[in-house]
Amino acid sequence: MEQNLHETNKYEDTLFPIGMYQITKDNCIPKGRGYRNLHWHEELQYVLVLSGNVIFQVNGCDYPLEHGEALFINKGALHMSSEMTKDAKYVSFNFSEQLLCFFPDSRMEYKFVKRYIRNEALPAFKITTSVHNGMEIINYLQKLKPIYEDNTSPLREYDISLLITVIWRHLLLCFEKQDYIQNKKQIAWVERTQVMLTFIRQNYTKQISLTDIAKSAMVSNAECNRCFRNMLHITPYEYLIQYRLKVALELLSFSEWNITEISQKIGYNNVTHFIQTFRRKYGISPKQYRITKHNEEQY
């Protein structure tokens, strides 16, 4: 189970560090951070919804997207796809901002890239046909997917890079129409929440308290609660339970440990409490879930 919220993308070609991921409720191809998997990374990200409806949560704000709509997610933003319809599928493209600069210390880097990346006032930008240049951006994203998948094209890398840069150019025209002034309080919430989420993921097997979580970011219990409420819309304890149960799903699906062993490995000393919590969340017992997953794999 991935414990670190900071994602380091592993590119197939280290000389061309651009990645494309296709995500449904049940899968992420290639393997990466999928549905309801909160994380952040150093790359910029373009997202295009291929079917169904998806709600993305970025730095505590919801961005509902319908089929054909897109989203820009900024570097360092804490994000995940928080809700997806059964038929939903989206594609994401992750890439370094260096691609947009042409060369280090260029005028483009300082004038058109550094001004916007890792700006907490611009964690994400929703792209629809109603926004300026929205139709053009969506069309380019739709073209980007088949070009990325075509490994036979002799100019594949250039074609991908050009499209990503053209999309950024259109986004700049959108950004210029709005005033993105960074809010110091929002910046602090993001940074503190990232620290506390990492602490939970590294210590969820232990008996940790609200005070322990707050201390990891050197804040009071009240400020800890405020950060979680503002960024994730849940309490620290609710996030801890959600994460433990997410780990339990993986262990039930892929390990040979029994229910008692899994309960202990995710921080529950009382197996009955674990079973009751699991049933409240998913509507079935851990044992029933394991049987269902096993039967699904037989077909």
Instruction: Output the pLDDT for position 103.
Output: 87
| pLDDT tier for residue 299 given thresholds of 50, 70 and 90 | low
Instruction: Output the pLDDT for position 233.
Output: 81
- Of 233, 249, 267, the last residue of a domain is 233
Instruction: Output the pLDDT for position 121.
Output: 83
Token readout for 79 is 């994000």
Statement: residue 12 has pLDDT above 90? no
Residue-wise pLDDT tens digits, 198-210: 899 899 999 999 9
Mean pLDDT of 173-194: 77
Residue-wise pLDDT tens digits, 52-102: 999 999 998 999 999 999 999 999 899 999 999 999 999 999 999 999 999
Domain assignment present for 266: yes
Domain assignment present for 265: yes
Instruction: Output the pLDDT for position 181.
Output: 59
Which of 42, 20, 43 is closest to 32 using CA atoms? 20
Q: Output DSSP code: residue 39.
A: B
On whether both 37 and 130 belong to a single domain, the answer is: yes
Q: How much of the chain, in percent, has pLDDT values that exceed 90?
A: 62
Domain extent, residue 243, equals 235-299
Which of 244, 159, 234 is closest to 200 using CA atoms? 244
- Domain of 298: which CATH number? 1.10.10.60
Beta bridge partners of 21: 92
What is the C-alpha separation between 276 and 8, in angstroms, rounded? Answer: 35
On whether both 140 and 39 belong to a single domain, the answer is: yes
Statement: residue 120 has pLDDT above 80? no
Residue-wise pLDDT tens digits, 231-275: 888 899 999 999 999 899 989 988 999 999 999 999 999 999 999
- Name the percent of the chain in helix, strand, coil, to the closest 5: 45, 15, 35
Domain assignment present for 72: yes
Long-range contacts of 263-266 (CB under 8 A, 24+ apart): 265/205, 266/204, 266/205
On whether both 228 and 267 belong to a single domain, the answer is: no
What is the C-alpha separation between 271 and 259, in angstroms, rounded? Answer: 8
Which of 116, 113, 85 is closest to 99 using CA atoms? 113
Mean pLDDT of 176-204: 81
On whether both 295 and 255 belong to a single domain, the answer is: yes
Statement: residue 7 has pLDDT above 90? no
Domain assignment present for 22: yes
- Of 192, 207, 233, the last residue of a domain is 233
Instruction: Output the pLDDT for position 294.
Output: 79
pTM of the model: 0.75
Which of 236, 242, 97, 123 is closest to 182 using CA atoms? 123
Domain assignment present for 1: no
Token readout for 241 is 């339970």
On whether both 103 and 148 belong to a single domain, the answer is: yes
Instruction: Output the pLDDT for position 180.
Output: 64
